[in-house]
Amino acid sequence: MTGKAGILWVTSTPKSISPSTMNKWYIEEHIPDTINTSVFNSAFRYENITDSTVFKSASSKKDEFLSFYPVRDLKLLETPEYANIPVRSKTLGEGTDEKLCYDVISFGVRNYEFIDSFEGEKARTHPCEYNVFNAKDLS
């Protein structure tokens, strides 16, 4: 495939499970299943620590977690290999029944196509006034 590089951007908030259950599934099952494909070779997760009293948004719902996955070719997101990444787990059923991740976690999914990078001297000509991410390491 010779498509454009980009990022799969996923926000997630547990609906009917605890954040610790969701994180267990993400860390122990979903991320390994995802990066063991030819679609992705890395994944990054962040937890939202923004004070909602400082930044008001139109939505009262807080996206608690952000995951993003660099993709060398966005067309890979249209392949059976990507579609077959497991989305059911007993972990999500908290050890009893197997659950579908979409039933217990609210997701927001977007695909972003790469436009440009700013590194070295080029970055110094494009100053950024604000820190885009305010995140903590979950490891």
CA nearest to 8, candidates 67, 80, 93, 75: 67
More confident residue, 31 or 52: 31
- Domain 6-124, classified CATH 3.30.70.100, yes or no: yes
More confident residue, 3 or 8: 8
CA distance 73 to 18: 34
Domain residue ranges in the chain: 6-124
Contacts of residue 5, Cβ cutoff 8 Å, sequence gap at least 6:
70, 71, 72, 73, 74, 113, 114
pLDDT for position 82: 96
Q: Quote the pTM value.
A: 0.75
pLDDT for position 99: 93
